[in-house]
Amino acid sequence: MLATRKQAERFGVDVLRSTLDHTYGGARRTYSGATLAELDRLFDEPLPETGRDPRRVMRECRRKVFRHSMQMSHPRIFGLFNPAPLPVAALAEIPVAFLNQSVDAWKAGPAATHLEMRLIRWINDRIGFGRRAFGVFTSGGGVANAIALKMARDRAAGARARRTGVPARLSRRLRVYASGQAHFSIGRSLDLLGLGEASLVRVEVDGAMKMRVDRLAETLRRDRRRGLVPMAVVATAGTTNTGNIDPLRDVAAVAGSHGAHFHVDAAYGGALLFSSLYADRLDGLALADSVTLDPHKWLFQPFSLGGLFVRSRQALSDSFRVEPGYLKKDLEAEPDRLDFYHYSLEGTRPFRGLKLWFTLKSLGRRGLGRLVDRTMEVAQHLEQEVGRQECFEPFQTPVECASVCFRYLPPGSRRMSERTLASPAMRSRLNRVQIRIQQEVERRGFAWFPTIVIGQTVFFRFGIFNYLTGPGDVDAVLSHIRRTASRLGF
């Protein structure tokens, strides 16, 4: 129970020391290699009827949880947007837990509310939004995208839609436009809104995996002639697969000409706002009506910390404002207070912003931006190496964020023509090669990176989300892939 400060302090020191020992212990493997069955057996136990010393529980945690977790601080982790969290941000989670503020109503977290309001202002300033802008921190980009599309629905269907729903005759005609590389949460959000995933129109991408603006314009004109209603256009700044950025300024012009809400999913690429070298890759972001940005991706924050940032605070409030009897403002001493539940899907939620505040106050915008720049330099080094080495074939798109996609080519395939390589039989064989190599590298714990499918072709996808990863680390993984391929007979 830790009833006294002395007991809590002793246990806290034990927890912190164990965690730091694990984090800075120089783990050789990215993962223990434990299988599903082994972990099922490890955690198979009945509900405890009586308690025991928390320090014994901590020892069990080290043995069961620490040992068999992905080692996210390892410099050879290149996985699914899982960053190595900055220590200053991770340690800021301690006061978050002890203060236990709920940033839904001002009176449940007054200082937390004002701190998050200031953070939102800072980010909106980086985006280029004006003084009427606002936003809300979320659990991640999926929720932020859902909030944005709820705003778009209400703009297209009118205020009555909140009370009576979208009339069937309009619901069947509403459309949202996004590229074929847009995140799955866009379709899921339309499902949640009752519009169905069929209301999502996928726009063709070019060879660089960017939305084709000419196809977007053609599709919108065609759909308008058919009586369909463009509810929103969604551009992506940092696609999940390849990290590419849609032409934001051009997409904004098309969306605006049709009166559609323009949303940018910059959950990944939005981190470039903090860079002094690469922020111009987000040219046109300030033209958006709403922007998703996840600091828990490329800004090295612990999970979870996403956010939605909007041009119009009033529009966000119009979509979510409610006032239950137990939170009536006219009963409060300060009725002008801001309550975040008026601007979000969530009610009770944690004080998510404190870790980012600690980070920005400790590193400054320039310091955080330099960490983003460092990962870009490593990604560019990797891109150069896979282009230089004959055994690797890079994906055709240039690096815009810190993602590099490529595949391994066995010796017998390196002299083949593009036509032969693209044949169904050869493509299937090469796909199996990539999958087998990735599984073997992961099983041995040397590195962790996913395989992805683009078109019908399997590639390795390396994301550089650890600010401590250096060129030597990616060189070592490339060498390991070559050795693994040779050992497997490829």
> Is 70 exceeded by the pLDDT of residue 187?
yes
Same domain, 194 and 254: yes
Instruction: Confirm if 441 and 481 have CB atoms less than 8 A apart.
Output: yes
Query: 333 pLDDT band (50/70/90 cuts)?
Result: low
Residue 473 lies in a domain: no
**Is 305 domain-assigned?**
yes
Residue 209 placed within a domain: yes
Say which residue, 77 or 325, is predicted with more confidence: 77
Tell me, yes or no, whether 49 and 101 share the same domain.
Answer: no
At 349 the pLDDT is 95
Pairing relation of β-strands 174-179 and 200-203? parallel
Q: Is there a single domain that holds both residue 41 and residue 136? A: no
In a domain, 198, yes or no: yes
User: What mean pLDDT is predicted for residues 396-405?
Assistant: 91
Residue type, 333: A
Question: Which stretches of 19-133 are assigned E, i.e. beta strand?
Answer: none
State yes or no: pLDDT of 335 exceeds 80: no
Residue 413's pLDDT is what?
Answer: 85
453 in a domain, yes or no?
A: no
Q: CA 244, CA 401: separation in Å to the nearest integer?
A: 7
Residue 205's pLDDT is what? Answer: 96
Query: What dihedral do alpha carbons 150, 155, 157, 163 form, nearest 10°?
Result: 60
> Are 288 and 179 within one domain?
yes
Tell me the percentage of the chain whose pLDDT exceeds 90. 90
The pLDDT-based confidence of 162 (bands split at 50, 70, 90) is very high
Average pLDDT (186-208) is 96
pLDDT exceeds cutoff 90 at 412: no
Give residue 344's region: left, alpha or beta (phi > 0; psi -120 to 50): beta
Contact 445, 28 (CB under 8 A): yes
pLDDT of 23: 92
At residue 377, does pLDDT exceed 90?
Answer: yes
Instruction: Identify the pLDDT of residue 210.
Output: 96
Residue 210 shares a structural domain with residue 310: yes
Are 46 and 158 within one domain?
A: no
- pLDDT higher than 90, residue 420: no
CATH number of domain containing 174 = 3.40.640.10
- Is 392 contained in some domain? no
Give residue 338's domain range: 97-360
Domain assignment present for residue 240? The answer is yes
Fill in the DSSP letter of residue 341.
Answer: G
Q: What is the pLDDT of residues 198-225, one digit of tens each?
A: 999 999 999 999 999 999 999 999 999 9
In this structure, the answer to whether residues 118 and 212 fall within a common structural domain is yes
Band the pLDDT of 417: cuts 50, 70, 90: confident
Query: Quick one: which of 462, 290, 277, 442 has its CA closest to 373?
Result: 277
Distance CA 372, CA 355 (A): 17
Mean pLDDT, to the nearest integer, of 451-480? 96
218 shares a domain with 304:
yes
- Please state, in angstroms and rounded to a whole number, the distance separating the CA atoms of residues 245 and 280: 11
| Residues 202 and 337 grouped into a single domain | yes
- pLDDT, residue 196, reads 95
Q: What is the DSSP letter of 245?
A: B
Mean pLDDT of the chain: 95
Encoded tokens for 416: 């083949």
The structural domain count of the chain equals 2
Q: Identify whether residues 71 and 197 lie together within a single domain.
A: no
**Dihedral sign, CA of 280, 283, 289, 293?**
negative
Beta strands in 340-383 (DSSP E): none
User: Does 102 map to a domain?
Assistant: yes
Select from 297, 326, 360 the last residue of a domain: 360
Does residue 251 sit in the same domain as residue 292? yes
Q: Which two tokens stand for residue 157?
A: 């269907």
Does the N-terminal peptide bond of residue 304 adopt cis geometry, omega within 30 degrees of 0?
Answer: yes
Contact 266, 293 (CB under 8 A): yes
Each residue of 17-69: pLDDT tens digit?
999 999 998 778 999 999 999 999 999 999 999 999 999 999 999 999 999 99
List, in order, residues 6 or more apart from 413 with CB less than 8 Å away. 421, 426, 430
Question: Do residues 110 and 71 both lie within one domain?
Answer: no
CB 288 within 8 A of CB 263: yes
Run of H or E including 293: strand 290-293
